């Protein structure tokens, strides 16, 4: 009788072990399915978040590109204004230099003609320093060099 009892105990223990093993396997499968489901949910949430960040980065990129374009246009406008101002200043400098050169030329010509008149013409009345108005001639009558009648 000990044998059937032992057999029953072993069979019961084996059945219990098989039941516990089956239960553990089912629990592990359920836990694995839940873990896989949670991974899918997490992956979808991550994809959604990445899509949102990508859209935000695209907006920021567009905004930065527009700012860059505006800055480039302002820079180009400033460069153009600088070139125009530089050309205007160079033109003005050339005009001033030309006026100065013309004044020098006139002064040199006047000085040269006065020198020529003094050295070659003597003290003739029309070239004399006593002549008050060159257009009208001598206003005072000169008796001799250095003596005048009013």
Residue 149 confidence (pLDDT) above 60: no
Dihedral sign, CA of 142, 145, 148, 149? Answer: negative
Span 83-135, pLDDT tens digits: 999 999 999 999 999 999 999 999 998 888 877 777 765 545 555 555 555 55
Are 117 and 127 a contacting pair, CB within 8 Å?
yes
pTM for the whole structure: 0.42
The CA distances from residue 143 to 6, 27, 61, 125, 135, in Å, are 176, 147, 99, 11, 21
Span 23-73, pLDDT tens digits: 888 999 999 999 999 999 999 999 999 999 999 999 999 999 999 999 999
């Amino acid at each position: 009788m000990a044998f059937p009892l032992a057999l029953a105990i072993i069979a019961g223990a084996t059945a219990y072990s098989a039941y516990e093993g089956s239960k553990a396997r089912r629990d592990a499968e359920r836990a694995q399915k839940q873990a896989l489901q949670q991974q899918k949910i997490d992956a979808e949430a991550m994809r959604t978040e990445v899509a949102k960040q990508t859209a935000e980065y695209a907006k920021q990129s567009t905004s930065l590109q527009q700012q860059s374009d505006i800055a480039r246009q302002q820079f180009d406008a400033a460069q153009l204004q600088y070139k125009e101002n530089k050309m205007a200043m160079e033109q003005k400098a050339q005009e001033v230099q030309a006026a100065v050169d013309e004044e020098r030329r006139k002064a040199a010509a006047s000085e040269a003609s006065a020198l020529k008149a003094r050295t070659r013409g003597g003290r003739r009345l029309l070239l004399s320093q006593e002549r008050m108005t060159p257009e009208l001639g001598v206003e005072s009558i000169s008796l001799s060099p250095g003596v005048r009648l009013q």
